[in-house]
């Protein structure tokens, strides 16, 4: 029951169009001009002066789209991105702070260790949910989500009490040691962008060209077929969730080391990267390359939303509403006419 029907999204453009039309109707009801609003969104996202903004919003969102797409490719759902991104961010801040106290290391090494630790911690946290399903039969859908709450609670407590930077009034850790921040390279290109690009390329390569990628896709199409063909689906679930969590951890680490330079309570959860990413992955039907595109599309929608709110005072949550409507329309097409089971079996 908890398994997804065959991932066969219908005409995505139609779903996007429907979302935009309904959004326009909502704008009309509240007395705004939808054309003006949409123009603000497009300009806010794509005018050259806004590229940098869009890109910095897109990095975590695209990353979380990719994180969501991996399990989805195998017919699994990871709802625990919030917990995983928070753990990644937390570890990426705490490790260099305390490591630098203990041993003097060059900044870039600190950053590298921090990122690897973050990916490992988040990956293991996510794999816990897979373990619950394979060992205990607890649906991963539920356990992955529930695991987020203690993750958020613990990190929030730690930044509120033992690890708090008492020199500021905010719930946040000390800044990471100088040199451990991720550098900007040139123009809007940052180290985080480079890292993410590498990971995106790696995931797409694995998906298309490798045995594990092939096996995960087959599992998503028909799990029983994969098992029949000798795929070790339990280990596979563990691996897919670990990869998904590790990417979420990387996203957390990039945001912490590149943007905030410290772990701030709530800063990784409140922008809803996880949920937008999940929606992008759903829109892409689990295909990683398309998930990156969809994630970028949603990032543009959201940065455009900021501009719209600033210029014509239409609340930017409208972009969230649009995303949800698009997903609902896409999901209506899921399964329609596709992958019908063998019915007339004796």
Partner 1 sequence: MQWELETIGVTKRFGPVTANEGVDLRVKKGEVHAVMGENGAGKSTLMSMLYGLLQPDDGEILIAGRQVHFTSALDAIGHGLGMVHQAFQLFEELTVWENIVMGAEPARRGFLDRRRAIASVAGLAERYDLKVDVTQRVRDLSVGIRQRVEILKALYRDAQILILDEPTAVLTPQERDGLFAVIRALRDDGRTILFVTHKLHEVMEITDSVTVLRQGRVTERMATKESTPEAIITAMTGRSVSLDVAKGPATPGEIVLQVAGLTVGQGPKPAVADVSITVRAGEIVGIAGVAGNGQSELIEAIAGLRPGSGRVTLKGRDIASLRVAERREAGLAYIPEDRAATGTAAGATAAETLLMGRQGDAALSRGGLLNLPAISERARRLIAQNDIRISSERAKVGTLSGGNLQKVVIARELDHEAPLLIAEQPTRGVDVGAIEAIHARIVAERDAGRAVLLVSAEMSEVLGLSDRILVMYEGRILAELPASEATEAQLGLLMAGRTGEAA
Partner 2 sequence: MNMLNAYTVNATIGGMTPILLAALAGVLCGRVAVFNIALEGKILIGAFFAIVGSYFTGSALGGVLCGVLATMLFSTILAYGVTRFRGDSIVLCIGMNLLASGLTAYLLRQIFGQAGVFSDPAIAEVDRIVIPAINTIPWLGWIFSRQTPITYLSWLLVIVVAIVLFRTPLGLRMRGIGQNPEAATTLGIDVGRTRRWTVIAAGALCGLAGAQLSIGTVGIFAEGMSAGRGWIAVVAVMLARDNPIWAAAVCLLFAIADTFSVQLQAQGLPNQLTDAVPYVITLVALVIGALRGRRRRMAPV
Q: Give me the residues that bind partner 1 (CB under 8 A), please.
A: 6-8, 209-212, 214-215, 217-218, 221-222, 224-232, 338-342, 344-346
How far apart CA 54 and CA 271 sit, in angstroms, is 14
**Contact with partner 2 (CB under 8 A): which of 33, 35, 98, 153?**
153
Report in angstroms the alpha-carbon separations of 58 from 123, 196, 205.
Answer: 22, 10, 21
Residue closest to ligand ADP (Cβ): 344
What is the 8-class DSSP label of residue 182? P
Judge whether 159 and 265 are in contact, CB under 8 Å.
yes
- CA angle 293/50/290 to nearest 5° reads 0
**Contact with partner 2 (CB under 8 A): which of 111, 282, 299, 300?**
282
How far apart CA 292 and CA 92 sit, in angstroms, is 24
343 CB-side CA count, 13 A = 2
Question: Kind of pairing, strands 184-186 and 189-190?
Answer: antiparallel
Q: Give the count of residues interacting with ligand ADP (CB under 6 A).
A: 2
**Is there binding between residue 297 and partner 2 (CB under 8 A)?**
no
* Residue nearer to partner 2 on the CB measure, 12 or 77: 77
- The residue count of the chain comes to 346
* Residue nearer to partner 2 on the CB measure, 30 or 210: 30
**Is there binding between residue 330 and partner 2 (CB under 8 A)?**
yes
Phi then psi for residue 263, to 5 deg, are -90, 120
How far apart CA 187 and CA 1 sit, in angstroms, is 49
**Contact with partner 2 (CB under 8 A): which of 125, 273, 275, 306?**
275
- Tell me how far, at minimum, the Cβ of 337 lies from partner 1, in Å: 9
* Residue nearer to partner 2 on the CB measure, 147 or 231: 147
Sketch the per residue contact string, 317 through 346, with ligand ADP: x for CB under 6 A, - otherwise: --------------------------xx--
Instruction: Indicate the angle between helix axes 51-73 and 233-254, nearest 10 degrees.
Output: 170
User: Largest alpha-carbon pair distance within the chain?
Assistant: 73
- Tell me how far, at minimum, the Cβ of 224 lies from ligand ADP, in Å: 20
How far apart CA 117 and CA 40 sit, in angstroms, is 40
**Is there binding between residue 145 and partner 2 (CB under 8 A)?**
yes
Q: Which of these ranges, 46-54, 212-220, 224-232, 326-334, lies near partner 2 under the rule CB under 8 A? A: 326-334
How far apart CA 147 and CA 157 sit, in angstroms, is 16
**Contact with partner 2 (CB under 8 A): which of 122, 236, 264, 323?**
323
Judge whether 180 and 107 are in contact, CB under 8 Å.
yes
- Tell me how far, at minimum, the Cβ of 336 lies from ligand ADP, in Å: 14
214 binds, among partner 1, ligand ADP, partner 2, none (CB under 5 to 8 A by kind): partner 1
Instruction: Indicate the angle between helix axes 288-312 and 273-283, nearest 10 degrees.
Output: 130
**Contact with partner 2 (CB under 8 A): which of 36, 105, 154, 221?**
154
**Is there binding between residue 339 and partner 2 (CB under 8 A)?**
no
* Residue nearer to ligand ADP on the CB measure, 101 or 344: 344
Q: Quick one: which of 111, 74, 65 has its CA closest to 290?
A: 65
Sketch the per residue contact string, 285 through 324, with ligand ADP: x for CB under 6 A, - otherwise: ----------------------------------------
Q: Locate 93 and state its tokens.
A: 């801040």
The SS3 call for residue 44 is: helix
* Residue nearer to partner 1 on the CB measure, 160 or 339: 339
Residues in contact with ligand ADP by the rule CB under 6 A? 343-344
Residues of this chain that interact with partner 2 (CB under 8 A) are: 1-2, 4-5, 26, 30, 77, 79, 132, 136-139, 141-143, 145-147, 149-150, 152-154, 156-157, 160-161, 275, 278-279, 282, 315, 317-318, 320-321, 323-325, 327-328, 330-336, 343
């Amino acid at each position: 029951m908890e398994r997804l029907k065959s991932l066969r999204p219908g005409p995505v453009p139609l779903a996007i169009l429907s979302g935009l039309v309904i959004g326009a109707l909502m704008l009309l009801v509240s007395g705004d001009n939808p054309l003006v609003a949409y123009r603000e969104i497009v300009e806010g996202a794509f005018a050259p002066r806004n590229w940098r903004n869009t890109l910095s919003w897109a990095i975590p969102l695209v990353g979380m789209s990719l994180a969501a797409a991996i399990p989805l490719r195998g017919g699994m759902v990871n709802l625990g991105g919030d917990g995983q991104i928070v753990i990644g961010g937390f570890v990426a801040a705490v490790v260099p702070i305390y490591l630098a106290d203990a041993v003097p290391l060059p900044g870039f090494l600190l950053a590298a260790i921090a990122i690897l630790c973050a990916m490992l911690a988040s990956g293991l946290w996510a794999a816990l949910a897979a373990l619950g399903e394979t060992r205990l039969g607890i649906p991963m859908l539920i356990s992955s989500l529930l695991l987020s709450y203690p993750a958020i609670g613990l990190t929030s407590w730690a930044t509120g009490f033992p690890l708090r930077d008492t020199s500021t009034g905010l719930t946040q850790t000390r800044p990471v040691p100088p040199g451990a921040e991720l550098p900007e390279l040139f123009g809007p290109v940052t180290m985080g962008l480079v890292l993410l690009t590498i990971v995106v390329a790696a995931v797409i390569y694995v998906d298309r060209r490798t045995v594990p990628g092939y096996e995960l896709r087959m599992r998503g199409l028909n799990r029983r077929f994969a098992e029949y063909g000798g795929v070790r689906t339990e280990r596979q679930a563990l691996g897919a969730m670990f990869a998904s969590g590790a990417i979420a951890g990387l996203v957390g680490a990039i945001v912490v080391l590149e943007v905030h330079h410290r772990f701030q309570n709530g800063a990784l959860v409140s922008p809803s990267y996880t949920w937008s990413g999940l929606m992008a992955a759903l829109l892409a039907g689990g295909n990683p390359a398309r998930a990156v595109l969809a994630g970028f599309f949603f990032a543009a929608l959201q940065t455009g939303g900021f501009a719209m709110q600033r210029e014509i005072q239409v609340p930017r949550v409208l972009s969230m509403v649009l995303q949800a409507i698009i997903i609902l329309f896409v999901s209506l097409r899921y399964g329609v006419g596709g992958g019908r089971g063998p019915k007339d079996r004796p």
